[in-house]
Structure 1
Amino acid sequence: MAPSPTGDPHVGTAYQALFDLAWARRTGGQFIVRIEDTDRARLVDGSQQQIEDSLAWLGLVPDEAPWLGGPHAPYRQSERLETYRPVVDRLIADGHAYHCWCTPERLAEMRAEQEASKAEVTGYDRLCHGKTAEQRAELPGFQPNPVVRMLVPDDVPLTFTDLIGGELSAPRPDDQVIFKADGFPTYHLAVVVDDHLMGITHMVRGQEWISSTPKQVLLYQWLGWQVPQFAHTPLIRNTDRSKLGKRKSPWAKLVWFREQGYLPEALLNFLMLLGYPPVNQGTEVQTLDEFIAAFDWSRINPAGAIFDIKKLDWLNGHYLRALTSEELAERIVAHHVETGGEALSQRDQATLVKAVPLVQERMVLLGDALPKLGFLFSEGVEVEDEARASLGEDAGAVLDAAVGALEALPEWSTAEIEAALRAALVDGLGIKPKFAFGPVRVAITGSRVSPPLFESMELLGREASLERLKALRGSL
């Protein structure tokens, strides 16, 4: 797998890594990550670190990578430049490649003319082929530092066998640039050289690279090297069938899931279901080990994968509810700190462990918990305007009755609190249960909607609960 560090890694990077790792583990092979950084103008600082961190977060750890080392190091193409030039020279000597001195302006004019004339054959017109630098310099649109293009024959094979799609066809390529004027190879040459030298048997990449396959197969054949097997993974699309792009869909960015509070095991399970049937009959919940044991290229649906965020939310909720209170509290705190929040005190963390069962059943994301439970960690609460506006004319009487009932409690427990408030408000004041506890809830949490009220009051404690009830009563 060979991502380019040109920005936030796409979720498709993890999608392809999943298949890589599954096949390598299933067959006793090696899962290798190579960083393809030859397009120097598009490099983004920190992108490689994001790739490394995201794969580690998901548990898709390669056997060889720039950050791990290995027998085929180095794993960044920018550190392998000495391996490409001899191959280019060989291709030129064998008549399979040639120098091209055309300026960008000249190439743009050529493309514009082809488009205007609706030419049947488009692409580079081979103006430089067969010429020396001196001969080419006599013609317009010359630059002294040439690129190198491959000479694609007219009978280039355009079909190949893909592990996922079967027999595939690609459009006829033009004379692709394989070596740039800055001394860096393009993707098409570098990937062939590196895959050969690293002993790659299977290359996994997205379907958008199908058109590149014929020219790369040509390079393998010209150089007398074994062609690897290709597995072009289906494109991931939104539910409306539009392409999952980072500009329009925030969930196309792999880092987005961690920022939002998804669990890595939930996202990994979700990726296993994209274009691949569940390995366990009757349930979509599965582990990585189960996926690896059942993995086969033929089971991948080449038609495409639909990214349904609702399904991911359901899976995340499932995994959240499978955690113990201690585990969930630890994950909540870690996510809170990762996203810029302050660390909780030991006392607050102990309270959080006791409080998470109050919200665990309704949580979708890790970030859902603290906003719902924040009233437990503050000295007082600021009553929301909407909550204050919801208080009826009897709110004062309700709060007075609640304070009186709670002050007399011999034991501060959920059951005792509920019994005392029901006796005072429902039976004593004759208020329906649906409305009786509203003012109490607003006083305790500052909101109309909260986790279970009586359990929350037990956690908050007698003194703090009574203070809040009296504070709201005093403000009416």
Structure 2
Amino acid sequence: MTENASGILPGTVRVRVAPSPTGDPHVGTAYMALFNLAFARNVGGRFLLRIEDTDRARFREDSEQQLYDMLHWLGLQWDEGPDIGGPCEPYRQSERLETYRPFVEQLIEQGNAYRCWCTPERLTQMREAQQKAKRPTGYDRLCYGKTAEQRATLPGFSEIPVVRMLVPKDAPIRFTDLIRGEVNAPMPDDQVILKADGFPTYHLAVVVDDHLMGITHVVRGEEWISSTPKHLLLYRWLGLDEPVFAHMPLLRNTDKSKISKRKNPAARLTWFAEQGYLPQALINFLALLGYPPIITTDDEGVVTEREMMTFEEFAERFDWSKVSSAGPIFDLKKLDWLNGTYIRELDRETFIDAIIPFCVRDEVFAEAPQGADREKLAAIAELIQTRLVLLSEAPGYVRPFFTAAADLQIADDARAQLKDGAAEVLTATIAALEPVDEWTTENIESAIRAAVIDGLELKPKVAFTPIRSAVSGVRISPPLFESMEILGRDETLTRLALLRDTL
């Protein structure tokens, strides 16, 4: 095989994800990127990142960098893009404006497009009239076949025109989809393809860019099904090869509504990093939203279903025939389960490094602990790793160990559990612990049980509640006796005495 002028090998599968930098990255972008990348890796293809920034009214300058950061966080690496270049540069639509003009002129010359001078106000009135008359909404072609001078004599004239497609009555409304088979789509109207500001609309730019960048498979959300006939018309009018289409099902809330950033914070991709989800858990979860678990059968015919999978496993077994067309429910309980499982599988040092940023963010300590403090954090990590669902839960467990006794606040729910006799329990505990020579978990537990459970004849829950409140300041804490060993004798006795003296 030989490369073409753009350096693209013929027959190479090329896919892309093309987000708009109009706000915080949407989790749907990661969902689409994951399936595009898995397919590309499965067949030895190329995965492109293109920035579709023609919507200047909603453009946000920091959005593009956020997108890079979050996709890198997830480990979804592209082969070509604005930040790394490639044979089809530039990869930002705003830098490709002159690329689109010849295609627009070709469409106009062929009679497939025309200029429209209608003002926004006139278009609004037109739509309102159509709705009032209960007619389908769509452009009424007032400008079609007219020159600027002819149109200027009519109401609602704007000197700077847009360009519209001239959609025939026999426009294609059927196409074949990799996931859905034969699809019927609604008849399009005369869509604007070039705006008054000189920027192309999505519909023209996506067709031109996908062609020039050699995109062989367009994998996108099902909300674009209704636009596909417009794109097919443009491909055919311009004499371009049509790509294969695959429309992924939309991610949905538990009420079946489309997941959106306005209604659900989990629609923001940054939210998952902020909450303390591991990238491998989120990748696994997104894969399961559109793809079945790994099914294996042993020598005895026993079938096992495994939901946990790496990206490499997902890509290796990727098959479009297995991608579901049903809208998946974005069930955070499933993601929480996966995340907790992945957290428990981290080696200890990786786990420590993972929770430190959250502890710094929540001001448990000012910077990453070193030396003895790192050793203390390692001991704490051993107690809490199996308890976490989210990494953001770690500061609540770690904070009491890095807070001076005088600064430790007893949480309201912990104080509310203190019953009559709590002071007596604390006094007995102090007396039992003071003579303990070797400060180990076993010796601490043995001394407390002898003095409080046996000596005061109390049930463990009643006996340990005031001790836990004094030591940790919270109602739910890491294992009590292990925590006391980490804190040390002097700190533990000081905390016990401080709470006792307030009762």
Please indicate the TM-score interval, normalised by the length of the shorter structure.
over 0.9
Please list, as runs of the form range in 1=range in 2, the aligned pairs for 1:195-344 lying within 5 A after superposition: 195-280=210-295, 281-337=304-360, 342-344=366-368
Q: Select which of 424, 430, 436 maps to 2:451.
A: 424
Please list, as runs of the form range in 1=range in 2, the aligned pairs for 1:7-22 lying within 5 A after superposition: 7-22=23-38
> Does 1:145 pair with 2:160?
yes
Q: Select which of 429, 447, 464 maps to 1:402.
A: 429
Cα distance in 1 for partners of 2:221, 2:422 equals: 62
Mean alpha-carbon deviation: is it higher for 425-434 or for 372-381?
425-434
Change (3 A) 1:372 1:317: same
Secondary structure of the structure 2 residue equivalent to 1:306: coil
| Alignment deviations for residues 2-36 of structure 1 (CA, whole Å, 9 cap, x no partner) | 11111111111011101110111111111001000
> Does 1:136 pair with 2:136?
no
State the one-letter code of the partner of 1:432.
K
Change (3 A) 1:317 1:44: same
Give the C-alpha shift of residue 253 in structure 1.
1.0
Give the C-alpha shift of residue 60 in structure 1.
0.7
Secondary structure of the structure 2 residue equivalent to 1:242: coil
Change (3 A) 1:118 1:473: closer
Q: Select which of 79, 83, 86 maps to 2:99.
A: 83
State the one-letter code of the partner of 2:490.
E
Secondary structure of the structure 1 residue equivalent to 2:252: strand
Partner of 2:393: 368
The alignment yields a C-alpha RMSD, in angstroms, of: 1.5
| Alignment deviations for residues 175-223 of structure 1 (CA, whole Å, 9 cap, x no partner) | 1110111111111111111111111101111100111111111111111
Partner of 2:301: none
Cα distance in 2 for partners of 1:452, 1:142 equals: 75
Runs of 4+ residues deviating >6 angstroms: none
Cα distance in 2 for partners of 1:44, 1:386 equals: 43
Change (3 A) 1:407 1:213: same
Cα distance in 1 for partners of 2:133, 2:498 equals: 81
Please list, as runs of the form range in 1=range in 2, the aligned pairs for 1:57-206 lying within 5 A after superposition: 57-119=73-135, 121-206=136-221
Change (3 A) 1:386 1:106: closer
Q: Work out the percentage of aligned pairs sharing the same amino acid.
A: 61
Cα distance in 1 for partners of 2:448, 2:324 equals: 58
> Does 1:56 pair with 2:72?
yes
State the one-letter code of the partner of 2:73.
W
Give the C-alpha shift of residue 295 in structure 1.
0.6
State the one-letter code of the partner of 1:320.
I
Mean alpha-carbon deviation: is it higher for 452-461 or for 342-351?
342-351
Cα distance in 1 for partners of 2:363, 2:196 equals: 44
Cα distance in 2 for partners of 1:148, 1:35 equals: 23
Give the C-alpha shift of residue 448 in structure 1.
2.9
> Does 1:345 pair with 2:369?
yes
Cα distance in 2 for partners of 1:389, 1:46 equals: 46
Secondary structure of the structure 1 residue equivalent to 2:65: helix
Secondary structure of the structure 2 residue equivalent to 1:424: helix
Q: Is residue 325–residue 354 contact of structure 1 (8 Å, CA) maintained in 2?
A: no
Q: Is residue 164–residue 194 contact of structure 2 (8 Å, CA) maintained in 1?
A: yes
Cα distance in 2 for partners of 1:422, 1:171 equals: 75
Cα distance in 1 for partners of 2:495, 2:360 equals: 28
Secondary structure of the structure 2 residue equivalent to 1:145: strand
State the one-letter code of the partner of 2:369.
S
Change (3 A) 1:473 1:336: closer
Secondary structure of the structure 1 residue equivalent to 2:162: strand
Partner of 2:484: 457
Secondary structure of the structure 1 residue equivalent to 2:306: coil
Mean alpha-carbon deviation: is it higher for 332-341 or for 405-414?
332-341
TM-score, normalising length: structure 2: 0.92
Cα distance in 1 for partners of 2:414, 2:137 equals: 67
State the one-letter code of the partner of 2:448.
L
State the one-letter code of the partner of 2:47.
F
Change (3 A) 1:340 1:53: farther
Give the C-alpha shift of residue 425 in structure 1.
1.1
Partner of 2:441: 414
TM-score, normalising length: structure 1: 0.97
| Alignment deviations for residues 43-66 of structure 1 (CA, whole Å, 9 cap, x no partner) | 012111111111111111111111
Give the C-alpha shift of residue 340 in structure 1.
7.2
Cα distance in 2 for partners of 1:244, 1:3 equals: 16
Cα distance in 1 for partners of 2:203, 2:416 equals: 66
Cα distance in 2 for partners of 1:182, 1:274 equals: 40
Cα distance in 2 for partners of 1:421, 1:192 equals: 74
Mean alpha-carbon deviation: is it higher for 221-230 or for 345-354?
345-354
Give the C-alpha shift of residue 338 in structure 1.
5.5
Gaps of 5+ in 1: none
